[in-house]
Structure 1
Amino acid sequence: MMKPKLILMSHGRMAEETLASTQMIVGELADAAIVSMTAEDGLSGTQAKLAAILKEAGNVPTLVLADLKGGTPCNVAMMAMGTYPQLRVVAGLNLAMAIEAAVSPVENVDELATYLTQIGQSAVTTIDLPELTDEEEFEE
């Protein structure tokens, strides 16, 4: 078994830049692809971009991380699931998910989709400054 193919999909250049940021942190990802939907692409152009990648991938299990549930990139990926039974889609793309997709040893596409959903959710959090005690204030 091998790791699923990874496709990042987004409005604009988010997918492209998320992949670039991921590679800055973890190194080159040979089997990752992007679909960046431009204003001119619309539904059909986005479908064509994804179809070209999926056709090249063949029967390889493939995971799409899409930027926004209900958005065109995510909807295009969902529609492709009917033609490509090995395709899984997770909405809510963030950098933590992309990094973890790159480094995770999980090879089963369903398990990876579930795992990355959990990673993505846990990465979204409010950061509070810890309250310093009088003692801690002077430690440096």
Structure 2
Amino acid sequence: MSTLVLTSHGRFCEELKKSVELIFGPQDDIRTLALLPEEGEDDYIRKFTALQTETNGDKLIVLADLMGGTPANQLSKLVMQGADIDLYTGMNMPMCISYLNAQMTGQPLNLVADATAGVKFLNEMLPKN
């Protein structure tokens, strides 16, 4: 079994989860991990370690807000040390929906393709009068 973890600078991850729940309903198996302004790297790792314990050894699929940011950097260190974490950056709503759809249908995860497929410049697609 896997658990989806959304992590971000500030409460973006918590609000993204709420937005996903508007579509799919309550998602108790999605966890959030916010790096708050008053927290440092040690605080963040302490919270992540507690989250790992709470998930009882589930495979963690982690979506981080920003490549090169503290959440992704701290978790990258754990991955390099052998932690069983699938870590993605560029977190967005299509990635969350893709994860939930894969869980419901048993299809393989395709997070990167699904995340980027919805990026469009609509002005170029809209008919002009």
* TM-score, with length taken from structure 1: 0.80
8 Å CA contact 1:15–1:35 kept in 2: the answer is: yes
8 Å CA contact 1:60–1:86 kept in 2: the answer is: no
Q: 1:45 — aligned with what?
A: 43
Q: 2:26 — aligned with what?
A: 28
Can you list the C-alpha shifts for 1:28-53, whole angstroms capped at 9, x where unaligned? 11211001111111211111111111
CA distance in 2, matches of 1:43, 1:58: 23
CA distance in 2, matches of 1:107, 1:33: 20
User: Which protein has the larger Cα radius of gyration, Structure 1 or Structure 2?
Assistant: 1
How many percent of aligned residue pairs carry the same amino acid?
Answer: 28
Give the SS at the match of 1:21: helix
Aligned length: 127
Q: Which runs of 5+ in 1 are unaligned?
A: none
User: Which moves more between the two structures, 117-126 or 66-75?
Assistant: 117-126
Alignment counterpart, residue 121 of structure 1, candidates 116, 119, 127: 116
Letter in 2 for 1:131: P
Q: Which runs of 5+ in 2 are unaligned?
A: none
Alignment of 1:66-105 (within 5 A): 66-82=64-80, 85-105=83-103
Alignment of 1:52-71 (within 5 A): 52-71=50-69
CA distance in 2, matches of 1:87, 1:124: 26
Give the SS at the match of 1:104: helix
**Structure 1 stretches (4+) deviating beyond 6 angstroms?**
none
Q: Would the alpha carbon gap of residues 99 and 71 (structure 1) be closer, same or farther in structure 2, given more than 3 Å must change?
A: same
